[in-house]
Structures are given as C-alpha cells and as structure tokens.
C-alpha cells in the first residue's frame, strides 16, 4: 500500500513542469531577456543561470512553505486560485489584444541595455526578469496549489517534496535553456514566428487562467454549502 502511494507521487515529476511552464511561458519572455542581456555570450549565460537560480528558489519556496504562509495570514487556497487565475487571465488577455507589445518591449529593453553596466544587468536578474516576467503572481499561486496537494504523512510528505523539487528543477532547466539560447531561437523563428508563438502561448495561458479561476470558484461554492 505504501509503495502504491509512493508510486502515485511520481507523476508529479511531470505534472509540475506541465502545469508551470505554460504559465511561465519563457518563450514570451525570451525577447525581453535577449534585449536585456545583449549578444555577449558570457553575459547571456551568466544572466540565464542567475534567473534560473532565482526561479528555482521561488518555485520551491512556494510549493513547500507557501501554504503555511497563507495559513499564517488566514488566506484560503481557493482565494489564491481565484486571484492567481484572474492575474494569469488578465496577463494573457493583454498579450492577445496588444498590437505592438513585442516591438515596444524590445525597444524599451534596448534603450535600457545601452545605459546598463554589467553589474546592473546582474542586479536586474531578479527584477524584472525573474519577477514578474518569468515567475509572476500566477506562477506562484499555481506552485502553492501544487504544494498544497502534498501528503501530510511525514514519510510521504518527504518523498512528495523531493519529487516536487525535482519537478521544479526540470521546469527551471527549461527556463535556463530557453533563455540561454534566446538569441539563436529568435533568429531561427524570426519576428513573425516569435509573434505567432507568443500569441499561441497567450491563448493557452488564458485557458489556464480560467481553469485556475474556475477551480477556486468551485471550491468556494462547495465549502459554502
């Protein structure tokens, strides 16, 4: 029975990245990252690694201690789901409806890059590249929701935490690879390809936001009965 329960935790290794990556959508943030980091390989590699490390701590912290922080402040998980779903859906809607958002963001980032030193680029690895561009409120809410599903039995909780951390590591590895090769990816897809890919991911993100919102609303209605 214990092995069966333990085996049931293994799908979380895949569920974590499948849940978080569409919300994170590193492909949409790649143009901003590319313009901020510039074209120097050392800067791109260093900044991509730092963003990945920051994201790892945010995801793991949200999954393992996020629900306890909510309990401390008296916030229920359904409320977090509704708030996170609204934020995710709003961000996706802006991405879908904006006409020249990608061009404007690249132009602003280029202007900022021209005035930034290497030390300033490192400082910007957290804001805005890590938060809110890569791991925003919607991602944090989804990570907390994933962490809330961990078993309460100490041994199984430890196993589930290890699997969740491994899933977060896979997620961060994808983020690192996308950002690390952002220049090459953008060159291969072209501006039109990046725009189409961003719009497609925005639609998926909108669906995910509505799904998170609906789940929280259904849980509130069930609790009110």
What average pLDDT does the chain have?
79
pLDDT at position 80 is 77
Residue 196 forms part of a structural domain: yes
pLDDT of 215-224, one tens digit each? 889 988 888 7
pLDDT of 159-197, one tens digit each? 889 999 999 999 999 999 999 998 787 777 777 776 777
* Range of the structural domain that residue 141 is part of: 2-220
pLDDT at position 110 is 47
pLDDT at position 7 is 58
pLDDT at 6 over 90: no
What letter would DSSP give residue 151?
-
- Domains identified in the chain, total number: 1
In SS3 terms, the chain reads as: CHHHHHHHHCCHHHHHHHHHHHHHCHHHHHHHHHHHHCCCHHHHHHHHHHHHHHHHHHHHHHHHHHHHHHHHHCCCHHHHHHHHHHHHHHHHHHHHHCCCHHHHHHHHHHHHHHHCCHHHHHHCHHHHHHHHHHCCHHHHHHHHHHHHCCCCCHHHHHHHHHHHHHHHHHHHHHHHHHHHCHHHHHHHHHHHHHHHHHHHHHHHHHHHHHHHHHHHHHHHHHHHC
Confidence of residue 49 (pLDDT cuts 50, 70, 90): very high
Residue 192 forms part of a structural domain: yes
Q: Cα(191)–Cα(221) distance, rounded to whole angstroms?
A: 45
Give the pTM. 0.72
pLDDT at 59 over 50: yes
pLDDT at position 166 is 94
Q: How far is CA 203 from CA 1, 38, 149, 174, 218, in A?
A: 41, 29, 27, 20, 23
pLDDT of 7-30, one tens digit each? 566 677 888 998 899 888 887 778
Average the pLDDT over 53-58 and give the result. Answer: 96
Residue 53 forms part of a structural domain: yes
Q: Which of 24-33, 119-128, 137-146 has the lowest mean pLDDT?
A: 119-128
Residue 197 forms part of a structural domain: yes
pLDDT at position 58 is 96
pLDDT at position 192 is 76
Average the pLDDT over 88-101 and give the result. Answer: 72
Residue 225 forms part of a structural domain: no
Residue 20 forms part of a structural domain: yes
Burial of 98 (0-12, 13-18, 19+ CB in 10 A): middle
pLDDT at position 5 is 53
pLDDT at position 128 is 74
Confidence of residue 209 (pLDDT cuts 50, 70, 90): confident
Confidence of residue 1 (pLDDT cuts 50, 70, 90): very low
Residue 24 forms part of a structural domain: yes
């Amino acid at each position: 029975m214990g092995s069966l329960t333990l085996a049931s935790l293994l799908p979380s290794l895949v569920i974590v990245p499948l849940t978080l990556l569409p919300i994170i959508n590193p492909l949409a943030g790649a143009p901003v990252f590319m313009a901020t980091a510039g074209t120097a390989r050392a800067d791109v590699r260093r900044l991509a690694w730092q963003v990945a490390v920051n994201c790892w701590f945010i995801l793991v912290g949200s999954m393992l201690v996020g629900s306890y922080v909510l309990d401390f402040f008296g916030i229920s998980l359904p409320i977090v789901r509704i708030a996170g779903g609204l934020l995710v859906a709003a961000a996706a809607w802006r991405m879908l409806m904006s006409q020249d958002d990608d061009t404007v963001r690249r132009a602003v980032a280029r202007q900022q890059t021209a005035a930034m030193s290497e030390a300033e680029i490192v400082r910007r690895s957290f804001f805005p590249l890590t938060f809110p561009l890569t791991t925003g409120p919607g991602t944090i809410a989804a990570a907390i929701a994933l962490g809330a599903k961990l078993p309460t039995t100490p041994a199984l909780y430890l196993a589930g935490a290890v699997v969740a951390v491994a899933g977060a590591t896979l997620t961060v590895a994808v983020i690192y690879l996308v950002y690390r090769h952002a220049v090459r990816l953008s060159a291969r897809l072209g501006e039109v390809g990046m725009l189409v890919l961003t719009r497609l991911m925005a639609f998926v993100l909108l669906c995910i936001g509505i799904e998170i919102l609906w789940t929280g609303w259904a849980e509130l209605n069930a609790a009110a009965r």
